[in-house]
A and B are shown apart, each in its own frame.
Chain A
Amino acid sequence: MAETKHAEVTYEDIEEICEEFANREGAVVQILQKVQEKYGYVPADAIEFVGEILEIPKSKMYGVLTFYSQFYQEPRGKFVLRICVGTACHVRGAGLLVDKVKEELHIEPGENTEDMLFTLEPVACLGSCALAPMAMVQGTAYAKLSADKMVSLIRQFEEEAVKQEEPV
Chain B
Amino acid sequence: MDIMLTETLEDVSVSSGMQTELPVIHIGMATCGLASGARGLLELIKKEVEKRQLNVRIVPTGCIGMCHNEPLVDVTMPGKYRVSYKNVKPMTLNQIFESHFGKNEFAKKYAICQIPLAGAQPYEGLPLMEEMPFFKGQVKIVTKRCGMIDPLSIEDYIAMDGYKALKKALTSMTPEEVVQEVTKSGLRGRGGGGFPTGLKWSLTQKSPGPEKYVVCNADEGDPGAFMDRSVLEGDPHAVLEGMIIAAYAVGGAQKGYIYCRAEYPLAIRHLRKAIEDARSRNFLGNNILGTDLCFDLEIKEGAGAYVCGEETALLASIMGERGMPWPKPPFPAQKGVWGKPSVINNVETLGNIGHIILNGGDWYASYGSEKTKGTKTFALTGSIKNSGLIEVPAGTPLREIIFSIGGGMVEKKIPFKAAQLGGPSGGCIPADGLDTPVDFENVVAAGAIMGSGGIVVMDEAACIVDTAKFFLKFTQDESCGECTPCRVGSKIMLDILTRITEGKGQEGDLDELVRLSMYVKSNSLCGLGGAAPNPVLSTIRYFREEYEAHIRDKRCPGTVCNDLIKYVVIEEDCTTCGLCEPVCPSGSVTWEKGEVAHIDLTTCIRCKACVDACKFRAII
> Which residues of A pack against B, CB within 8 Å?
24-30, 32-33, 63-64, 67-71, 85-88, 90-92, 123-132, 134, 139-143
Q: Determine the residue in chain B with the shortest Cβ distance to A84.
A: B223
B36 touches A143 (CB 8 A): yes
Q: Which residues of B contact A30 (CB under 8 A)?
A: 300-301, 320
Give every chain A residue within 8 A of B32 (Cβ-Cβ). Answer: 128, 130-131, 143
Q: Which of chain A's residues has its CB closest to B456's CB?
A: A87
Report if A134-B35 is in contact (Cβ < 8 Å); known contacts: A87-B381, A129-B224: yes
Min CB distance A70 to B, Å, is 3
By the criterion CB–CB under 8 Å, are B3 and A139 in contact? yes
CB of B86, distance to nearest CB on chain A (Å): 13
CA distance A90 to B472 in the complex (A): 13
Q: Tell me, in angstroms, the Cα distance from A153 to B106 when the chains sit together.
A: 37
Known: A26-B318, A87-B456, A91-B462. A130 touches B303 (CB 8 A): no
Contacts of A123 in B (CB 8 A): 263
* Contact partner, B379, options A25, A70, A129, A134, Cβ 8 Å: A129
In the complex formed, the residue of A with least CB distance to B233 is A127
Q: Chain B contacts of A142 at CB under 8 A?
A: 35
A-B contact pairs, 9 of them (CB 8 A): A32-B303, A71-B304, A91-B458, A125-B224, A125-B263, A129-B454, A130-B68, A140-B34, A140-B35
Q: Is the CB of B304 within 8 A of A88?
A: no
**Separation in Å of the A168 CB from the closest CB of chain B?**
22
Residues of chain B having any CB pair with chain A under 8 Å: 1-3, 31-32, 34-36, 67-68, 220-226, 229, 262-265, 300-306, 317-324, 338, 379-383, 387-389, 420, 423, 454, 456, 458, 462, 467, 470-471, 474, 477-478, 480
Indicate the member of B3, B220, B321, B480 with the most A CB atoms within 10 Å: B321
Known: A68-B303, A68-B305. A129 touches B1 (CB 8 A): no
On whether A86 and B35 interact (CB within 8 A), knowing A124-B474, A141-B1, the answer reads no
**CB <8 Å contact, B319 and A26:** yes
Q: Tell me whether A128 and B223 are in contact (CB under 8 A).
A: no
Q: A130–B300 Cα gap in the complex (Å)? A: 27
* A131-B456 contact given A29-B303, A142-B35, CB 8 Å threshold: no
Please tell me if the beta carbons of A67 and B320 are within 8 angstroms of each other in the complex.
no
- Quote the shortest CB–CB distance from A95 to chain B (angstroms): 9
Q: In the bound complex, do residue A69 and residue B305 qualify as a contact, i.e. CB atoms below 8 Å apart?
A: yes
Contact flag A127-B304 (CB < 8 Å), given A29-B320, A87-B420, A88-B381: no
Apart from A70-B262, A130-B388, what 5 extra A-B contacts exist at CB < 8 Å? A67-B305, A124-B477, A126-B263, A129-B226, A129-B454
Given A86-B223, A125-B223, A131-B67, residue A143 in contact with residue B305 (CB < 8 A)? no
| A105 and B471 alpha carbons, distance in the complex (Å) | 28
Flag if A127 contacts B225 (CB, 8 Å). Answer: yes
A91 and B456 in contact, given A124-B221, A125-B223 (Cβ under 8 angstroms): yes
Given A127-B229, A131-B32: A86 and B320 interface contact (C-beta under 8 Å): no
Decide yes or no: A91 and B383 within 8 Å by CB, A131-B36, A141-B35 being known contacts.
yes
Q: Point out the residues of chain B lying under 8 angstroms from A132, CB to CB.
A: 381-382
Q: B68 — which chain A residues lie within 8 A by C-beta?
A: 130
A33 touches B381 (CB 8 A): no
Please, how many angstroms separate the alpha-carbon atoms of A25 and B1 in the complex? Answer: 30
A134 to chain B, nearest CB (A): 7
**Closest chain A residue, CB of each to CB of B318:** A26
Bound: A86/B338 CA distance, A: 33
User: A27: which B residues are within 8 A, CB to CB?
Assistant: 320
Taking CB atoms, residues of chain A closer than 8 Å to B304 are 68-71
Task: Give the Cβ gap from B264 to chain A, nearest Cβ, in Å.
Answer: 6
Write out the residue numbers on chain A whose beta carbons fall within 8 Å of the beta carbon of B388.
Answer: 130
Complexed CA–CA distance, A140 and B229 (Å): 16
Q: Do residues A33 and B303 form an inter-chain contact, with CB atoms below 8 A?
A: yes
Q: A70-B262, A91-B467, A123-B263 are in contact. Are A128 and B226 (CB under 8 A)?
A: yes
A26, A64, A85, A88 pick with most chain B CB within 10 angstroms = A88
B469 to chain A, nearest CB (A): 10
**How far is B315's CA from A29's CA once the two chains are assembled, in angstroms?**
13
Enumerate chain A residues within 8 angstroms of B478, measured Cβ to Cβ: 124
Contact partners of A64 in chain B: CB under 8 A? 320-322
Give the distance to chain A from B221, nearest Cβ to Cβ, in Å.
7
The 6 closest A-B pairs by CB, nearest first: A130-B67, A86-B223, A70-B304, A68-B303, A141-B35, A87-B224
Closest to A124 in B: B223
Residues of A within 8 A of B226 (CB): 127-130
Could you tell me the distance between the alpha carbons of A123 and B304 in the complex, rounded to whole angstroms? 9
Closest to B262 in A: A70
Residues on the A chain within 8 Å of B454, using CB: 87, 129
CA distance A25 to B321 in the complex (A): 9
User: CA–CA, A47 to B1, complex, Å?
Assistant: 28
Whether A131 and B35, one on each chain, are in contact in the complex, defined by CB atoms closer than 8 angstroms, is yes
Q: How far is the CA of A49 from the CA of B304 in the complex (A)?
A: 23
Complex formed: what's the CA distance from A25 to B316 in Å? Answer: 12
A134 to B480: give the CA distance in the assembly, Å. Answer: 27
Residue ID in chain A nearest B467 by CB atoms:
A91
Distance between Cα atoms of A92 and B456 in the complex (Å): 11
Chain A residues within 8 Å of B379, by CB? 129-130
Q: Which of A25, A85, A87, A92 contacts B423 (CB 8 A)?
A: A87
Whether B470 pairs with A87 at a CB distance below 8 angstroms is yes
C-alpha gap A124/B220 in the complex (Å): 11
CB-based contact A139/B382 at 8 Å: no
Q: A130-B32, A139-B2 are in contact. Are A90 and B303 (CB under 8 A)?
A: no
- Give bound CA distance, A131 to B28, whole Å: 15
**Residues of chain A within 8 A of B380, CB atoms compared:** 130
Of B1, B305, B381, B458, the residue contacting A140 (CB under 8 A) is B1
Contact of B323 among A26, A68, A86, A127 (CB under 8 A): A68
- Asked if A127 meets B470 with Cβ closer than 8 Å, knowing A33-B303, A132-B381, A141-B31, the reply is no
Closest Cβ of chain A to B177, distance in Å, is 34
Query: Within the complex, which residue of B1, B303, B471, B480 is in contact with A70, where a contact is CB–CB below 8 Å?
Result: B303
Determine the chain B residues whose CB is within 8 A of the CB of A32 once the complex forms.
Answer: 303
Q: In the complex, what distance in Å separates the CA atom of A127 from the CA atom of B388? A: 11
| Least Cβ–Cβ distance between B314 and chain A, in angstroms | 12
Output the residue of A29, A92, A143 with the most chain B CB within 10 A.
A29
CA–CA, A70 and B261, complex, Å: 11
> B387 touches which one: A126, A129, A139 (CB < 8 A)?
A129
Q: Contacts A25-B320, A29-B303, A69-B304 known; A127 to B381 CB distance under 8 Å?
A: no
Contacts of A88 in B (CB 8 A): 223-224, 381-382, 387, 456
Residues of A within 8 A of B338 (CB): 26
CB pair B320–A124 under 8 Å, yes or no, is no
Q: How far is the CA of A105 from the CA of B318 in the complex (A)?
A: 38
Q: Assess the B35–A143 pair: CB atoms within 8 A.
A: yes
A5–chain B nearest beta-carbon distance, Å: 24
* Cβ–Cβ < 8 Å partners of B318 in chain A: 26
Chain A residues lying within 8 Å of B34, measured Cβ to Cβ, are 140-141
With contacts A87-B420, A87-B454 taken as known, whether A125 is within 8 angstroms of B225 at the C-beta atoms is yes
Find chain B residues with CB under 8 A from A85 CB. Answer: 223
